[in-house]
Amino acid sequence: MRKRERRGEIKKILVVDDDELNLRFMKSMLEAQGYDVATAVNGIRGLERAETFQPDVILLDIMMPEMDGYEACMKLKSKEETGKIPVILVTALDDRASRLSGFKAGADEFLTKPVDRVELTLRLQNLLKVKEYGDFLRDYNKTLESMVHQRTLQLESAYKEVENANEKIKAGYLDTIYRLTMAAEFKDVGTANHLRRISFYTHMVAKELKMPESFVDTIFYASPMHDIGKIGIPDAILLKSGRLSTEEFELAKTHTTIGANILHGSESEILQLGEAIALNHHEKWDGSGYPRGLKGDRIPIEGRIVSIADQYDALRSMRAYKAALSHSETVKIIVEGDGRTQPEHFDPEILEIFKKVEGEFHAIYEEHKD
């Protein structure tokens, strides 16, 4: 079989497991799919191997002596050399508490033993795509910062020209973020207008909340990145016209953690806020949301703002599985509930603001409708 390559590079997988039989099985299966595979027999050796081998993805068993998978994952994520490497926890444990512990440790995905070959293949493909996408964003940001620095040195004697150059670079930077975000959005919604509307909704709500001006401006640019993680979800799930199965829905929900992982580690305030939004925009005030089941004001304010904006726009818009609703129908559902959407899902203060400015939501939708 031809090696799995992207731009001439063979993708590398590190498997960490104290069970020699499992190691041989995983190594054999992954090498048969064209990956370069390294192994380690415990968490301590896994940390050492990760730094020297620099894999693209790490498969990490949880139940190991000396250092379990949770601790190993936390140490991997805390180090600059390995912090950006996606980690899949492999375990026989499938309860909610174990998964939450894994997410707290920084895990990106879970696989339940015995490992299903097809599921492993899909999750690896998705995480490799996510890592490549995240690396591109980070590399582009570094390149851009270098360009800004060089231009500033060249033109420091002409302040006005430097200022104009910085404005152009900023515009190009924001345009790049916007277009990269559209790449994920087109898989599901298929329109840039959805992104524009989210920007205007969230900007308006943030102003009504009397948030700092810097936050109001930043959320305008960051909020369209809320669903950037959908780039890592298979099209068969995103575009399915019928109801998702439990397994499909669980996989679809991981777009929150995928999106946060893509945006993680940037020094840009916009990407930092985008990371928080991607992770938290499906959390609900009553604690019934995902991925972490946060409740009340434990949900970051940016997540609470985007939650109501995204819900309004989703109800107004046509999808493969639903018709578009009118403004009045949408407001009624958000304010009164319909079973799936309940007013208890939203921050009460933000819900009151929505009631106050729902006419402006309608105006934004009409001005930027598909």
**pLDDT tens for each residue of 218-274:** 999 999 999 989 888 888 888 787 888 999 999 999 999 999 999 898 888 999 999
Q: What pLDDT score does 101 carry?
A: 87
Verify that 26 and 101 share a domain, yes or no.
yes
Q: Quick one: average pLDDT of 128-141?
A: 75
d(CA 216, CA 203) in angstroms, rounded, equals 6
Verify that 164 and 275 share a domain, yes or no.
yes
d(CA 102, CA 87) in angstroms, rounded, equals 10
Let me know if residue 95 belongs to a domain.
Answer: yes
DSSP, res 297: G
Q: What pLDDT score does 236 carry?
A: 86
The better pLDDT of the pair 60, 320 is held by: 60
Q: What pLDDT score does 74 carry?
A: 93
Verify that 104 and 170 share a domain, yes or no.
no
- β-partners of residue 6 are 9
Let me know if residue 134 belongs to a domain.
Answer: no
The better pLDDT of the pair 188, 50 is held by: 50
Let me know if residue 147 belongs to a domain.
Answer: no
Let me know if residue 279 belongs to a domain.
Answer: yes
Verify that 209 and 267 share a domain, yes or no.
yes
- DSSP element (H, E) containing 89: strand 87-91
Verify that 106 and 170 share a domain, yes or no.
no
48-to-44, 54, 281 alpha-carbon distances in Å: 7, 10, 36
The answer to whether 23 and 75 have CB atoms below 8 angstroms apart is no
- 358 is in which domain, residue-wise? 154-367
Verify that 217 and 84 share a domain, yes or no.
no
Q: What pLDDT score does 175 carry?
A: 65
Query: To 5 degrees, how large is the angle CA 350–CA 356–CA 361?
Result: 85
Q: Quick one: average pLDDT of 321-341?
A: 92
Q: What pLDDT score does 352 carry?
A: 98
* CA-CA-CA-CA dihedral for 125, 128, 133, 139, to nearest 10: -160
DSSP, res 319: B
Q: Quick one: average pLDDT of 196-222?
A: 95
Give the CATH number, domain containing residue 50.
Answer: 3.40.50.2300
Verify that 107 and 160 share a domain, yes or no.
no
Instruction: Please identify, among 85, 115, 145, the residue that sits at the C-terminal boundary of a domain.
Output: 115
Q: What pLDDT score does 246 carry?
A: 92
Q: What pLDDT score does 184 carry?
A: 60
Verify that 232 and 350 share a domain, yes or no.
yes
Verify that 236 and 351 share a domain, yes or no.
yes
Q: If we measure between CA atoms, which residue out of 282, 276, 284 comes closest to residue 300?
A: 276
Least confident of 25-34, 47-56, 93-102, 212-221: 93-102
DSSP, res 346: S
Q: What global pTM score does this model have? A: 0.55
Q: What does pLDDT average to over the chain? A: 86
The better pLDDT of the pair 43, 322 is held by: 43
Q: What pLDDT score does 6 carry?
A: 45
Bond preceding residue 114 cis, omega within 30 of 0 = yes
Let me know if residue 130 belongs to a domain.
Answer: no
Give the CATH number, domain containing residue 229.
Answer: 1.10.3210.10
Under the banding of pLDDT at 50, 70 and 90, the label for residue 38 is very high
Q: Quick one: average pLDDT of 16-20?
A: 92
Q: What percent of the chain has pLDDT over 70?
A: 85
Q: Quick one: average pLDDT of 166-176?
A: 65
d(CA 49, CA 297) in angstroms, rounded, equals 40
The per-residue pLDDT for range 259-316, each reduced to its tens digit, is 999 989 888 899 999 999 999 999 999 999 999 999 999 999 999 999 999 999 999 9
Q: What pLDDT score does 320 carry?
A: 66
Verify that 293 and 353 share a domain, yes or no.
yes
Bond preceding residue 224 cis, omega within 30 of 0 = no
Domain count, the chain: 2
Q: Quick one: average pLDDT of 78-95?
A: 86
Let me know if residue 327 belongs to a domain.
Answer: yes
Q: What pLDDT score does 164 carry?
A: 67
Query: How does strand 87-91 pair with strand 109-112?
Result: parallel
Q: If we measure between CA atoms, which residue out of 276, 335, 329 comes closest to residue 306?
A: 276
Verify that 111 and 183 share a domain, yes or no.
no
Verify that 246 and 339 share a domain, yes or no.
yes
Least confident of 8-17, 18-27, 106-115, 156-165: 156-165
Q: Would you state the structure tokens that stand for residue 142, as one six-digit string?
A: 């570094």
Let me know if residue 290 belongs to a domain.
Answer: yes
Let me know if residue 178 belongs to a domain.
Answer: yes
The answer to whether 301 and 295 have CB atoms below 8 angstroms apart is no
